[in-house]
Each structure stands twice: as structure tokens, then as C-alpha cells.
């Protein structure tokens, strides 16, 4: 039986330039989707999957991210004094136990593979998860939990995968499949951002991974790949070359690319409509906009 996955890496060193000027002073991961920052969705998903140790790969200017997970005694005291117990309960989810969270600096932006490699000493010789907070996945059972349950049966390494339109495949890491078993596929090879028209499938890798510690050894030897960066995809593909099992997992749920403005707006609408206290007002507003547009045509 494979070892339990209890550690997760969160690569959060990016500058978030697509969201300037907001990200001039606010880390992108702290930007709020309805009323919770992106990073909280990622943390909640990790906790649901049984993760106990949280490793953040950060960069200069991410102090607000570190403060977010700290206790706020003054705020808690004020809420307690005013009897706002519901808000106190909400705050509890944002607090991390001492020692559960670690921060590692990535001094140069050399790609996702390099960010994961920066955390190698904290991971050690154990399987580990990687969660990209930009990919927010709305699912009845959280995506990483689905993967952890599948991984308990398979071992090896596993990447979250979803079908994308063929013309968009060149924006992703793409899987070549050797065996399709429904939710699970056995991976024959992986290509990072294939040239248009050359992708081996339209099954794209999404920002959730469960990886063997061998992947870190592969990253030790990695040279820069697509875009001049050290690609995590290349290190996982190396596993296949060494006859290690790599699986793609077709998760149940809807993925939002919150690294793009349109994806972030779509997620805001979708998560807003999912909230009982917001649904009626928001859906009425959306209907009004649609009717106004139709009337103007």
C-alpha cells in the first residue's frame, strides 16, 4: 500500500502581473473570491484530503500571505467582546497550528519545477501533493481528496486531468495515454505546451499533483525546458522513462482558471450563485443585464 500523502507544496512566488495594479501591494493569492482569498480554497481542499504539513514557496512581497494564516488576537478579542461567535468560527479556518506551515523563498522565477524543487528538503523521501491556487475547482468531493483516494489504489505519481478544446491544448501540459480506464488513465508521455496541432491528446494537466519523491531527484538533473523554465512536466515525464507508473485522473468538478481575469470573474459569479444568501440578488441582477442586452439588440 502506498505511503499516506500528508505534505503539500503551494507554489505562490508569482508576481501576478495579469492583475496589476491590484497585485502591486496585494499578493494574488490573497485576492478574494466572494469573501475568501484564493489561498483559503486551496488550504481547505488540502485539509479535506488529509494534508497535515503545508509548504509555501514564496518570494519577496508576500508578507500579507504569511500574516493571513497567523492568529489575530486583537480582532478575535473584539469579535468575542461583541458576541460575534459566527465570525470567530470563520476565522478559525484561517488559523494554522504552530509548525504546520513552512515558508521557503524562490529567489528566481525559474518555473514550476524549480519552485517544487525549492521545497525538496522539507518533503524528504515521501510522496507529496502540489496545489496551484490559481486553479480553483468547485466539486462535491474536493479534487485532491478524489485523487488521494485513487492514489491509495495505484501508488506512483498522479496528475489531475481534464479535456480541453483541441485548439487550447498548446496552453497546457498534455497527456499521451497508453491505457484509458475511465476516471484513471495510464500516461505514456507528457508534453508541456505542445506546438498547435501537435498535441498527443486534448487531455490537459490541471494544477493538482500527487508525486513520488523520485520527481525531486529528477528535478535535480533538470535543464530548462519550454519557455526557458524548469518544467515540472519534464520531471514527471522522466518517471515514465524510468518505467515508473504515472496516472492522469479525470476529476469530477468544474475548474476555474483564476490566474486570468475572465476566469476569476466566472468563478466569482459561480461561487456567488452557489451561496444561498447571495443567490437571489445575484441571479436577479444577471437576468436584468441579459434582458437589457437583448432589448438593445
- Per DSSP, the residues of 2-17 read PPP--EEEEE-----G
For the chain, which domains are there? 7-259 (3.90.550.10)
Cell numbers for 59, please give them.
518570494
User: Contacts by 236-244 with C-beta closer than 8 Å and gap 24+?
Assistant: 236/157, 236/159, 236/190, 236/209, 236/211, 237/189, 237/190, 239/156, 239/157, 239/212, 239/214, 239/215, 240/187, 240/188, 240/189, 240/190, 242/214, 244/156, 244/157, 244/212, 244/214
The DSSP string of 85-141 is HHHHHHHHTT---TTSEEEEE--S---HHHHHHHTHHHH-SS-EEEE-TTEEEE-SS
Residue 74 is predicted with a pLDDT of 85
Q: Between the CA atoms of 116, 134, 149 and 34, what dihedral angle is there, to the nearest 10 degrees?
A: 140
**Along the chain (297 residues), what's the average pLDDT of each consecutive run of 10 residues?**
88 82 83 90 93 89 76 83 83 74 82 88 91 94 94 91 87 86 89 82 91 88 62 86 88 93 94 92 91 79
Amino acid at each position: 500500500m502506498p505511503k499516506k500523502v500528508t505534505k503539500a507544496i503551494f507554489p505562490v512566488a508569482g508576481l501576478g502581473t495579469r492583475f496589476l495594479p491590484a497585485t502591486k501591494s496585494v499578493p494574488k493569492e490573497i485576492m478574494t473570491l466572494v469573501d475568501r482569498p484564493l489561498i483559503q480554497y486551496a488550504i481547505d481542499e488540502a485539509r479535506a484530503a488529509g494534508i497535515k504539513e503545508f509548504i509555501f514557496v514564496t518570494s519577496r512581497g508576500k508578507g500579507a500571505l504569511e500574516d493571513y494564516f497567523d492568529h489575530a488576537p486583537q480582532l478575535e478579542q473584539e469579535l468575542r467582546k461583541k458576541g460575534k461567535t459566527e465570525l470567530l468560527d470563520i476565522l478559525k479556518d484561517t488559523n494554522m497550528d504552530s509548525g504546520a506551515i513552512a515558508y521557503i523563498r524562490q529567489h528566481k522565477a525559474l518555473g514550476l519545477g524549480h519552485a517544487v524543487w525549492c521545497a525538496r528538503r522539507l518533503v524528504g523521501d515521501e510522496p507529496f501533493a502540489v496545489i496551484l491556487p490559481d486553479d480553483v475547482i468547485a466539486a462535491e468531493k474536493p479534487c485532491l481528496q478524489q485523487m488521494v483516494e485513487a492514489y491509495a489504489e495505484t501508488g506512483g505519481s498522479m496528475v489531475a486531468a481534464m479535456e480541453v478544446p483541441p485548439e487550447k491544448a498548446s496552453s497546457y501540459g498534455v497527456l499521451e495515454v497508453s491505457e484509458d480506464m475511465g476516471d484513471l488513465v495510464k500516461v505514456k508521455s507528457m508534453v508541456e505546451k505542445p506546438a498547435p496541432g501537435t498535441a498527443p491528446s486534448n487531455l490537459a494537466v490541471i494544477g493538482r499533483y500527487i508525486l513520488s519523491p523520485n520527481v525531486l531527484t529528477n528535478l535535480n538533473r533538470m535543464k530548462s525546458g519550454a519557455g526557458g523554465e524548469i518544467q515540472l512536466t519534464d520531471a514527471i515525464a522522466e518517471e515514465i522513462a524510468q518505467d515508473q507508473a504515472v496516472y492522469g485522473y479525470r476529476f469530477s468538478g468544474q475548474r476555474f482558471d483564476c490566474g486570468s481575469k475572465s476566469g476569476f470573474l466566472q468563478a466569482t459569479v459561480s461561487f456567488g450563485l452557489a451561496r444561498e444568501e447571495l443567490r437571489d440578488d445575484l441571479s436577479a441582477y444577471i437576468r436584468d443585464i441579459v434582458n437589457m442586452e437583448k432589448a438593445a439588440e
